[in-house]
Each structure stands twice: as structure tokens, then as C-alpha cells.
Amino acid sequence: MPLGTVLVAFLIGGGALWRLHSTWRADALSHPTYYARGAELIQLLNAAQHASQAKDSYATKIEGALSGFASLLSDPTAGTVDGGRRALLVSDLHDNVYALNSLSFYAQGQPVFFPGDFGNTGDGTETRSLVGPISRLGNRVVAVSGDHDSHAMMLALARRGVTVLTSHGQLLANGRYGPASVLVDGMRVAGFEDPLEYHGRDPDDPRRIFSFGQLPDPAAAIAAARRRLLGWFQSLRERPQVVLVHQNGLAQYLARALAARGYLWPLTILTGHDHIQHVNHIGPIDVIDAGTVGASGLYGIGQDYVGLGELHWAPRQPVLQAADLIQVEPVSGVAQAQRVVLPTDCALHHLVCTSAIDYLDPHEGPNTASIEGLPQVSPLNPTVTATTP
């Protein structure tokens, strides 16, 4: 019996080695075969093609565009930007470490607001590669989670010194929660975690939900998220001047709901998620989306633009004066920037202002939900009208 067992094991092992030797192809390691489902296959093929074209020039072209940021502006002197408070706005990195490395120099000396989607799933690999570089951006990083982030990644960011904000308060390194809002350069800042932030053990779980549309009743889920967001904001004891909300749809809802209730104080809502640059005016409230700083990650290489914004607040009032929005296509090196001048009378003098969009991503055109039926106005000459209430 023992001899027979050894013989059988020897035959099976020998057969396996023979099969391995007969089918081994060394070149398969340098030319691997990938498997994907449905539309993912097309995305992966396109991404692989664009990635091979990008090579080492990817990060270099981003850095080149950022170093000449001011010269890219069509009119950098437009509007009243009087050397007040500045901050960098970036979102939707989606695990693009090449774009992340290019931000380090430009972010120096100013706070960085990061409203979510650091990785694609927020798993352990992404956490190890992203948390360190993100924590070293600027003189302070203030963040909320996105639908592609995990609670484990947000906790790792908090442990590395990133100010992670949630509806429960600031996430602390020990996993508990601190103050409901924080002061950043003299402005009170609050943040709302994404309703779809992952709290399970396996962020790569194929059953994971990334959008409301994947839920059994999307309309009910969106309505619940809106109620929770508005209820959270109204429960804050100290009125914030800056709020971070990852999903643009929720950010737009909050702005409209507050304006409809007669909200008259300066408020800047920083958002992302839709990968489209736009600036909305809704009464005294400005909603700013700088696009995707990671060019949508792997799937967007060679197609989507790296987008980021530099924000200018007045030195003595928490009112946003202008937003400089830049876009870079890293493969070709094509870049553009636009300064959007924001009307400040709406908030400072409690005037009722017509809602409008001052800037819309030209690559997307009018086919975006960010418009919400609002009229477009010139990005260089905002024509938002004001009337006494």
C-alpha cells in the first residue's frame, strides 16, 4: 500500500512536470493574455494600447503643463484675485500613481482638498502605494471618501496625517471620530463620506456595489442619501464655509436644497465623481468640480484629461473669488486652462442670484447632468444677475 501510494504520486507529479514542460512559453510573461467580461474587455484593450503609447512621457507631460500653469490661462488677470487664500482641488485619482507623482511640486505650500476616489477599490495594494504620496501633498490634505474607496484606505490616510472628514466627524487614527468640522486657513470645513464607501473585508469582492444604479431600488437609495446629506448639514452646530461631497449629483442637490430654503451665507461645495470640470452658481453657493486628476485611471489613459483646480478665496471673507481649472492630456501633452471668475455679491450682500454654469468641460459639451437645466454664461464674463430679495 505505501509503495503503491508513492508510485501513484510519482506518476502524477511526473505527468504534471511533463505537461508543464510541453506547454511552457517563456514569451507569455512579456506578452500576457488578459481575460475580462463584456465591456471591460474593450476598455482593457484600449487602455493597453494607450498605455504602450504613453510610456515614460506620461508624467513628464503632466509636470510640464503644471509648471506652466499660469501661462496656460486665457486671461490670468481676469477678476479680482488679490493674493488671498489658495488651495488645490483634486479628485478621482483612481490609482493613477503617475499623475499623483506629478502633483507634488505644484501642491507645495497650500492645502489640498481631495473629495474622494483615491483608488479603484481601496484594497491593500492600492492603500500601500497611494497613502504615502497622498499624505505628503501640500501642507495639509483634507479628504472625504468616494464610491471607489474603502473604509480601510480612509483609516490608513487618517493614520498618515490626512484630515479625513465624515458625517460623524473627523476620522481619527484610532478609528474613532473627532470634531464635526475643522479649520483650514481660517475657513471652517466639513465633509460627507460617500454613501457607497466600502466597509467590508474584501474591497475586491465581485459583488461590491459602486453605484446607486446597481441597487434593487436606485430611486429610493438616492432619496435616502439626499435626506441624510441635508439632515447632516442642517445639524452642524457651526456653519461651514467649505463642504466636501464626492458625488456631484449629491453636491448639486445640497446646493439647490439650501438655496430653496433661503440659505444666504457663503458656501463652497467641492465635488467630483462625474470626471467633468464645471462651476455652478446656485444663489450664494458655488459648486466646483475639477474633473479627474487621474484621467479616470487605467481605462482613461490616452483618452481622458488630467484635471485639477486652484481655488482663490478672499483674504478676509470666506468667499470664493475665482477657480483656475486646468486639463492635460498626458499622452499628447495637450493642455488648457481657464480662470472662472465668481460673483461674490450674492453671498456678501445677501442678494438673490440667478443660478447658472460659468464653465463646462469643453470635451464633454452640454451632455452632462451637471447642467440641470441651468443657463450657460461666459466663463470670462459671468453675467449672473443679482436682485434685492
DSSP of 66-118, one letter per residue? HHTHHHHBS-TT-S---S-EEEEE----TT-HHHHHHHHHHTTTSEEEEES--
Q: Is residue 31 part of a domain?
A: no
Q: Is residue 345 part of a domain?
A: yes
**Which residue range(s) make up the domain with 88?**
62-362
295: domain CATH number? 3.60.21.10
Question: Which residues fall within 8 angstroms of residue 154, CB to CB, at 6 or more apart?
Answer: 122, 143, 145, 164, 171, 193, 197
Bigger pLDDT: 222 vs 44: 222
Q: Is residue 24 part of a domain?
A: no
Least reliable range by pLDDT among 140-149, 256-265, 279-288: 279-288
Does residue 58 have a pLDDT over 90? no
Segment 248-259 mean pLDDT: 93
- Given this model, what pLDDT does residue 202 score? 94
Does residue 377 have a pLDDT over 60? no
> Residue 173 is placed in which grid cell?
487614527
Q: Is residue 382 part of a domain?
A: no
CA distance 323 to 183: 21
CA distance 243 to 257: 14
CA distance 285 to 252: 10
Bigger pLDDT: 389 vs 211: 211
Segment 285-297 mean pLDDT: 87
Total residue length of the chain = 389
Mean of per-residue pLDDT scores for the chain: 79
Question: What are the residues facing 327 on neighbouring strands?
Answer: 307, 336
What are the start-end ranges of the E strands in 250-365? 267-272, 277-282, 285-290, 306-313, 320-328, 335-341, 352-353, 356-360
Segment 123-130 mean pLDDT: 94
Q: Are 143 and 191 in contact (CB under 8 A)?
A: yes
Q: What is the pTM of this model?
A: 0.78
Q: Are 279 and 323 in contact (CB under 8 A)?
A: yes
Least reliable range by pLDDT among 11-25, 238-252, 369-383: 369-383
28-to-25, 40, 52, 307, 353 alpha-carbon distances in Å? 6, 22, 17, 36, 62
Segment 340-358 mean pLDDT: 63
Q: Is residue 292 part of a domain?
A: yes
Q: Is residue 46 part of a domain?
A: no
Least reliable range by pLDDT among 67-81, 137-151, 164-178, 327-341: 67-81
pLDDT in tens, 174-197: 999 999 999 999 999 999 999 999
Segment 198-207 mean pLDDT: 93
Does residue 199 have a pLDDT over 50? yes
Segment 370-389 mean pLDDT: 41
Q: How many CB atoms lie within 10 A of CB 157?
A: 26
Q: Is residue 240 part of a domain?
A: yes
Bigger pLDDT: 361 vs 113: 113
In percent, the amount of the chain with pLDDT more than 90 equals: 44
Does residue 289 have a pLDDT over 80? yes
Q: Is 5 helix (H, G, I), strand (E, B) or coil?
A: helix
Q: Is residue 36 part of a domain?
A: no
> Residue 266 is placed in which grid cell?
457663503
CA distance 74 to 49: 33
Q: Are 359 and 321 in contact (CB under 8 A)?
A: no
- Given this model, what pLDDT does residue 188 score? 97
Total domains, the chain: 1
